[in-house]
Amino acid sequence: MSMKILLDKVGVAGIETLPVYRAHGGYSAVEKVLKMAPADVVEEVKKSGLRGRGGAGFPTGMKWSFIDKKSGRPRYLVVNADESEPGTFKDRYLMEKMPHLLIEGIVASSYALEANLSFIYVRGEFRWIIAILEKAIAEAKEAGLVGKNIMGSGYNLEIVVQTGAGAYICGEETALIESLEGKRGNPRLKPPFPAVSGLYGNPTVVNNVESIAAVPWIVNNSGESYAKIGTPKSAGTKLISACGNINYPGVYEIELGLPVEEFIFSPSYCGGIKDGKRLKAVVAGGSSVPILPAGLILKTANGEPRLMSYESLSDGGFLTGTMLGSGGFIVYDEDQCIVRNTWNFTRFYHHESCGQCSPCREGTGWMERILHNIEYGHGKLSDIDLLWDVQRKIEGNTICPLGDAAAWPVAAAIRHFRDEFEWHVREPKECLVRNYGLPEATVATV
């Protein structure tokens, strides 16, 4: 289970430069697609079973096939490189180490979509990545791999790098489109979906960096070959950014279907829990997905080994399962406080809510305040039920999924760690001393 198709050449000296990238077979997918009909490229990606790596796991080929080509309006590919989800840092790594893989993927994908203008929307804080991407685009343009008449084929493509301004919500595809248009990044109501009416009202595909970076391999080796990697419902490899109380934090490319236990404990991946402590819980797919206690992340409720795949991680629904999400894998040891962690996540969602819908705007603030009270020793037992009630009223009642993303971690924390919330209420001093190392005398003043 150590197949690598995205990061296999990381470590090759100079792979971020065009000559070295080309010497290692780079841009062969562009050469190949230019001789194919665009519809055949879409078909190949459909056959691959590739699912979007931005979080929702929507099939990429199917998304591409929704794009309206009949209207004659311009079509756009927008690569989502906003990557602001806490715990997720794999796109940053991919762009830093393999910029030409992304550019190659963009050219091949844009050709399939018959788009002549594509964008990379990059998180504003990634200053150095923006420079890397712009250098790679300039090199590719100079070599006739981007721009007018690519490789003499008559196909034209310009790639524009656009910087975000630090708002997490601009990673949501319709907020991203608004931001690209120069407006405030407020999510749009869907439908219409971007494939019908996206950037400037034109058909637009928004895809994650990793999804687009997988396209060259699929073109070179066939969709069928890609579909053979991983599991039937989770084809291919996935980048996982692993962090928290583990021995080897970092970005790993895994073949989907790897047992979670192996990922956490094998020296080839996370290398086990730091300082010989016990595993307490895992957030498997970025801060938005439900947290699971050790027992349920290692095994499903049926006692099957839990696998790193869309279907296995979600086995049991939210009662006993979670989601693969964006691949931001956060590991907590026995000393970590679930209340504090949930409060921290909720602070983030409250801060990042765009404020358009009341359940999200008000609810995230309510949750933050209740959690603050519990965490700082001013909570009541009834606050736990109130918290549950507030998150229920957010989920499913908002314009965009940020509302759900704020509600799910709170629901899961209460579902699996209610005793810890109660303990905070009953023994606030113990929690404060444990979490903040505060001597008892100062506790009352916090």
Q: Which residues make up the interface to ligand SF4 (CB under 6 A)?
A: 169, 187, 353-357, 360-361, 398-400, 402-403
The closest alpha carbon to 231, from 260, 258, 265, belongs to: 258
The β-bridge partners of 329 are 242
365 or 377, CB closer to ligand FMN?
365
Q: Are 328 and 287 in contact (CB under 8 A)?
A: yes
Q: Are 53 and 210 in contact (CB under 8 A)?
A: yes
The closest alpha carbon to 279, from 259, 258, 265, 262, belongs to: 265
Among 56, 138, 165, 319, binds ligand FMN (CB under 6 A): 56
Smallest distance, Å, CB 109 to ligand FMN?
10
Interacting partner of 80 out of ligand SF4, ligand FMN, none (Cβ under 5 to 8 A depending on kind): ligand FMN
Binding map of ligand FMN across residues 364-403, x = CB under 6 A, - = no contact: ------------------------------------xxx-
CA–CA dist 97, 209 (Å, integer): 13
Q: Quick check: helix, strand or coil at residue 299? A: strand
Contacts of range 424-427, beta carbons closer than 8 Å, 24 or more positions apart: 424/339, 424/374, 424/375, 424/377, 424/379, 425/374, 425/379, 425/380, 425/381, 425/383, 425/384
Is 67 an interacting residue with respect to ligand FMN (CB under 6 A)? no
CA–CA dist 224, 391 (Å, integer): 42
Q: Are 30 and 108 in contact (CB under 8 A)?
A: yes
Smallest distance, Å, CB 319 to ligand FMN?
23
Interacting partner of 360 out of ligand FMN, ligand SF4, none (Cβ under 5 to 8 A depending on kind): ligand SF4
Q: Are 26 and 37 in contact (CB under 8 A)?
A: no
Interacting partner of 314 out of ligand SF4, ligand FMN, none (Cβ under 5 to 8 A depending on kind): none
Is 120 an interacting residue with respect to ligand FMN (CB under 6 A)? no
195 or 246, CB closer to ligand FMN?
195
Interacting partner of 398 out of ligand SF4, ligand FMN, none (Cβ under 5 to 8 A depending on kind): ligand SF4
Among 26, 49, 55, 236, binds ligand FMN (CB under 6 A): 55
268 or 358, CB closer to ligand FMN?
358
Is 206 an interacting residue with respect to ligand FMN (CB under 6 A)? yes
The footprint of ligand FMN on this chain (CB under 6 A) covers a number of residues equal to 26
Among 171, 359, 363, 409, binds ligand FMN (CB under 6 A): 171
Is 100 an interacting residue with respect to ligand FMN (CB under 6 A)? no
Inter-CA distances, 404 with 41, 71, 359, Å: 34, 34, 10
Q: Which tokens in the block code for residue 141?
A: 């343009």
Q: Burial of 441 by CB count in 10 Å (0-12 exposed, 13-18 middle, 19+ buried)?
A: exposed
Among 84, 287, 300, 342, binds ligand FMN (CB under 6 A): 84
Interacting partner of 356 out of ligand FMN, ligand SF4, none (Cβ under 5 to 8 A depending on kind): ligand SF4
Is 271 an interacting residue with respect to ligand FMN (CB under 6 A)? no
Distance of CA 388 to the CA centre of its chain: 26
Interacting partner of 167 out of ligand FMN, ligand SF4, none (Cβ under 5 to 8 A depending on kind): none
Is 66 an interacting residue with respect to ligand FMN (CB under 6 A)? no
**Where does 8-157 show beta strands of DSSP type E?**
76-81, 117-122
**Where does 235-335 show beta strands of DSSP type E?**
237-244, 250-255, 258-259, 279-283, 291-293, 307-308, 328-333
CA–CA dist 76, 92 (Å, integer): 22
130 or 425, CB closer to ligand FMN?
130
Smallest distance, Å, CB 101 to ligand FMN?
15
Residues 401-420 that bind ligand FMN (CB under 6 A): 401-402, 405
CA–CA dist 260, 343 (Å, integer): 26
Smallest distance, Å, CB 144 to ligand FMN?
28
Residues that bind ligand FMN (CB under 6 A): 52-56, 58, 60, 63, 80, 82-85, 168-169, 171-173, 206-208, 211, 400-402, 405
